[in-house]
A and B are shown apart, each in its own frame.
Chain A
Amino acid sequence: MTSHVATNSNRSSVVVQKNNTPQRQPIDRSTVSRSPVSMVGKAATVGLARVSLPGGPAIHQPSSRAATDSLNESKDNFLGKYELLTELGQGSYGTVHLARLKTNPE
């Protein structure tokens, strides 16, 4: 059996693909808690509209609000209530931002 190995460095999480089974690819965890590097707010670039995930089971959400309402919310950006501050980390699938509630600045 051959294995395909995906890794960036010995510090990054890896996943090995066996028997052509679809496997997850890791977001680069080694960067997630990096010190803040910029103060650029990025709220304006995030999000167009809310849609449900294509296919698959619905996520049961007792405490965390799922946004599956409608497509006509292009202006109602969910992140609008959050103010994005610094970027905490970069991964292969996206980024982690420090944020706070706009209505409740600390």
Chain B
Amino acid sequence: MFAIKVYEKFKINSEPSKFRNIRKEINILTNLSHNNVVRLIEHTETLTKINLVLEYCGSTNISHYVKKKHPLPEEDIRSVLLQTLNAMEYLHSRNIVHRDLKGHNLLINRHKRVKLIDFGFAILTNKGRKLSSVCGTPNYMAPEVLKNEDYVGEPVDIWSFGVLAFYVSECNYPFKAQNVK
């Protein structure tokens, strides 16, 4: 089974930066191979579409999973978080920051295998390099990102992981934000 992500070009045409970001997403995914990270099988482009053929990782994301099963047994909480950490450690060891780590971007299959998806905000960085794009999801965003400051990549993912750990345990967010204002 696969999940095919289809980008409609007519929806992107007005935004050249979006093209660059899709190319970046493909580039990053192409070079990744880890049990807790979605695999890109192949990609192609037609006149009207960009297609990413991705490994199918299950139909449930962690956010829905937690909502459905709260309270999760401690064993499951540990398993979900450990698998997420494995994915993060792998990415960070390759100088890749995900920048949108959250329950919705972690899929879980019936064998309880967790996989990180959606590398639309991911970036290849260098140790200590300052980033400035404010991206992510408000409830999961680190303060320095919300404050519109320059930030180093890895700690931002680690902050989001902290929020995730809270969410998986409590089915609630430690901090709530409607938007970045």
Binding site for B on A (CB under 8 A): 1, 3, 5, 7, 9-16, 18, 22-27, 29-30, 32-36, 46-54, 56-57, 59-68, 77-79, 82, 84, 88, 92-101, 106
Contacts and interface: CB of A to CB of B under 8 A. Distances in A.
B138 A7 contact: yes
Contacts of B135: 13-16, 23-24, 26
Contacts of A97: 3-4, 6
Contacts of A106: 1
Contacts of B2: 82, 98-101
Contact of A64 (B42, B46, B59, B137): B42
B3 A14 contact: no
A35 B15 CA distance: 30
B105 interface: yes
Given A24-B17, A60-B30, 11 more contacts: A13-B100, A22-B16, A26-B135, A32-B105, A33-B64, A62-B30, A78-B46, A82-B4, A94-B6, A97-B3, A97-B6
Given A14-B137, A18-B134, A64-B43, A47 B178 contact: no
B45 interface: yes
Contacts of A53: 19, 23, 45
Majority SS of interface residues in chain A?
Answer: loop
B117 interface: yes
Contact of B132 (A18, A26, A34, A94): A18
A9 B132 CA distance: 22
17 contacts: A3-B180, A5-B180, A13-B135, A13-B137, A23-B17, A24-B17, A29-B100, A29-B102, A29-B105, A33-B107, A33-B117, A34-B59, A46-B51, A47-B48, A61-B30, A64-B26, A96-B3
